[in-house]
């Protein structure tokens, strides 16, 4: 029986690659004297300094105790949950009913469904760079071509809209827009979003908006859901509770369908619903708790998170902008900051992956190399640690850079 052939996996499944996992899972700690400081993960629960709101725990407990939600719900989401999501996201400019909401397995599931429904092999989709693999993974696996438009660090990571316009051809099916941005921490102005919408409108293209960080902005900033700024561009807005409510493990996300001129009505909406039927939907327990969560958890909950993130951004910017070879770009929201690394200043470091590996083994500080975001030459810092640990991490990065400079 030893010469039986190995069973093969499908071509599509083998095309699924998540660069973050591949790079990050390889890392080893060799300096055991220093506490490991993780600036690599975008999971707000990992350091234990951001507790889940009491109302949320109660809401889920009540659902469990009610015994009313142990059966299958509709695959695209419980009615009460879709109603609550619609109510909380509807605006005058972009109205929503429960029929415009599809519940998914996290925001990742939402983007995955949109990419699955909107493109055929050989067609193409526009995606920002730097990006997270989630923004294109489903399209790539299915043979949809990815065309990257640049986000510009010296313009607060605004999209290069001229390039966006030029990349579009007859096979382009959609534009992915991520705002506020992971990995950049940028928050687009109303005017910039209007400029992006103008490109979409000119080419009659829909937008897939990854807006999981909507409302997660620094003091004095405002994030506009892109659908509130257009009457003509069809928009699928993807979101979820993972980041804003600090529970990524609860896996609740959604697609908000902003159909314009009925362009999604006949095929796209029915197909988005069909896609949910592959897995019969997500757990009913958290869905049924959503009305209470969305109605009761106060704004101050996520504003507190953002105060911590903003204070960390100021610490990191202050500490790292004076380090030769590093160029931090000050964010305005989300949970991250990008820092440029001028590799020519570090004679024994050839790539930002190497920068990450050496920093980890010498200083026990874990950052995400830009390679994971298709953007070598930069590193991404997550801004979620307590302020004193953030300061400590930046001090170690400084010491490391000083030691390795020419
Ligand atoms: C974290 C993240 C997601 C995934 O959200 P989940 O709700 O955990 O699936 C999607 N998009 C971006 C930009 C993210 O940062």
DSSP string, 200-216: HHHTT--EEEE-TTTT-
The model's pTM: 0.95
User: Token pair of 178, please?
Assistant: 């991520």
- Three-state secondary-structure class, residue 260: coil
Please state, in angstroms and rounded to a whole number, the distance separating the CA atoms of residues 116 and 220: 37
Residue 205 pLDDT more than 90?
A: yes
Give the architecture-level CATH label for domain 11-51+300-404: Alpha-Beta Complex (3.90)
User: What is the pLDDT at residue 384?
Assistant: 97
By most ligand atoms within 8 Å of CB, the mutation choice from 157, 179, 248 for ligand 1 is 248
Query: Residue 167 pLDDT > 80, yes or no?
Result: yes
The ligand 1 atom at the shortest distance from the C-alpha of residue 110 is: 9
CA of 362 to the centre of ligand 1 (A): 31
pLDDT tens string 274-306: 999 988 999 999 999 999 999 999 999 999 999
The token pair at 233 is: 């561009």
Q: Which of 27-41, 254-268, 330-344 has the lowest mean pLDDT?
A: 27-41
Residue 6: its pLDDT value, please?
Answer: 85
| Percent share of the chain, pLDDT over 70 | 97
CB of 159 within 8 A of CB of 30? no
CA nearest 146: which of 172, 114, 165?
172
- pLDDT at residue number 31: 65
Domain locations along the chain:
11-51+300-404, 54-296
Check if the beta carbon of residue 48 is closer than 8 Å to that of residue 400. Answer: no
Residue from 20, 224, 257, 212 nearest 107 by CA: 212
Ranges 59-63, 96-100, 136-140, 382-386: which has the least confidence: 136-140
In this predicted model, what pLDDT tens digit does every residue of 24-72 receive, in sequence order? 777 766 666 889 999 998 899 988 999 999 999 999 999 999 999 999 9
Q: Which two tokens stand for residue 332?
A: 């305005």
The distance in angstroms from the start CA to the end CA of the chain is 60
Predicted local confidence at residue 301, as pLDDT: 97
The structural architecture, per CATH, of the domain 54-296 is 3-Layer(aba) Sandwich (3.40)
Tell me whether residue 188 is exposed, middle or buried, using C-beta atoms within 10 angstroms of its C-beta: 0 to 12, 13 to 18, 19 or more.
buried
Integer Cα distance of 6 and 207 in angstroms: 42
Residues in contact with ligand 1 by the CB-under-6-Å rule are: 42, 106-108, 132, 134, 178, 182, 210, 212, 240, 242-243, 248, 253
Ligand 1 centroid – CA 43 distance (Å): 10
Q: Whose CA is nearest to atom 15 of ligand 1?
A: 182
From 20, 105, 106, 290, the mutation candidate for ligand 1 (largest count of ligand atoms within 8 A of CB) is: 106
CA 238/CA 236 separation, integer angstroms: 6
Task: Give the nearest ligand 1 atom to 108 CA.
Answer: 9
Helices 79-89 and 284-296, axial angle in degrees (round to 10): 30
Distance 132 CA to ligand 1 centre (A): 9
CB neighbour burial string for 215-229, b if at least 16 within 10 angstroms, e if fewer: bbbbeeeebbbbbbb
Looking from the CA of residue 181, the nearest atom of ligand 1 is 13
What integer pLDDT is reported at residue 225 of this predicted model? Answer: 98
- What three-state secondary structure class fits 237? strand
Strands 101-105 and 252-258, sheet pairing:
antiparallel
Ligand 1 centre distance from Cα of residue 94 (Å): 23
What pLDDT, in 10s, does the model give residues 114-145?
A: 999 999 999 999 999 999 988 888 888 889 99
Whole-angstrom Cα distance, residue 191 to residue 213? 19
The string of DSSP codes covering 60-79 is HHHHHHHT-S-S---TT--H
User: For residue 242, which atom of ligand 1 is closest to its CA?
Assistant: 7
* Domains 11-51+300-404 and 54-296 are alike in CATH topology: no
322 φ, ψ (degrees, to nearest 5): -95, 0
* Count of C-beta atoms within a 10 Å radius of residue 90: 15
Residue 201 clears pLDDT 80, i.e. is over it = yes
d(CA 228, CA 91): 7
Neighbours of 406 (CB within 10 A): 9
- Say if residues 231 and 260 touch (Cβ distance below 8 Å): yes
DSSP E strands: which ranges in 90-181?
101-105, 124-129, 145-152, 158-159, 172-178
């Amino acid at each position: 029986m030893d010469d039986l052939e190995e069973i093969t996996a499908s071509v599509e499944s083998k095309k699924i690659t998540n660069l973050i996992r591949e790079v990050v899972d390889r890392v080893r700690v060799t300096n055991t004297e220093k506490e490991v400081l993780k600036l690599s993960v975008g999971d707000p629960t990992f350091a234990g300094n951001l507790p889940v709101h009491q109302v949320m725990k109660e809401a889920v407990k009540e659902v469990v105790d009610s015994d009313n939600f142990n059966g299958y719900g509709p695959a695209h989401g419980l009615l009460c949950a879709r109603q609550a999501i619609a109510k909380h996201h509807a605006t005058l400019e972009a109205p929503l009913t429960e029929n415009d909401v599809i519940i998914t397995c996290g925001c990742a599931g939402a983007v995955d469904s949109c990419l699955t429904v909107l493109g055929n092999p050989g067609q193409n989709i526009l995606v920002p760079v730097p990006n997270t693999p989630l923004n294109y993974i489903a399209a790539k696996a299915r043979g949809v071509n990815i065309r990257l438009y640049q986000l510009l660090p010296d313009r607060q990571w605004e999209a290069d809209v001229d390039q966006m316009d030029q990349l579009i051809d007859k096979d382009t099916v959609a534009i992915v827009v991520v705002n506020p941005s992971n990995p950049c921490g940028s928050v687009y102005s109303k005017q910039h979003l209007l400029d992006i919408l103008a490109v979409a409108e000119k080419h009659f293209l829909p937008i897939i908006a990854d807006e999981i960080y909507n409302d997660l902005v620094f003091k004095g900033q405002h994030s506009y859901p892109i659908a509130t700024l257009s009457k003509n561009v069809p928009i699928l807005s993807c979101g979820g509770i993972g980041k804003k409510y600090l529970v990524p493990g609860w896996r609740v996300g959604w697609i908000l369908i902003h159909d314009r001129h009925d362009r999604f009505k006949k095929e796209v909406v029915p197909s988005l619903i069909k896609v949910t039927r592959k897995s019969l939907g997500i757990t009913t327990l958290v869905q049924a708790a959503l009305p209470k969560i969305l109605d009761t958890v106060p704004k101050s909950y996520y504003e507190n998170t953002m105060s911590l993130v903003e204070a960390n951004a100021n610490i990191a910017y202050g500490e790292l902008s004076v380090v030769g070879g590093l160029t931090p770009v000050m964010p305005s929201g989300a949970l991250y900051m990008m820092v440029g690394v001028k590799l020519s200043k570090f004679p024994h470091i050839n790539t930002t992956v190497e920068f990450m590996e050496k920093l980890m083994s010498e200083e026990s500080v874990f950052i995400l190399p830009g390679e994971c975001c298709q953007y070598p030459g930069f590193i991404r810092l997550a801004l979620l640690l307590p302020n004193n640990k953030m300061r400590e991490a930046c001090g170690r990065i400084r010491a490391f850079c000083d030691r390795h400079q020419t």
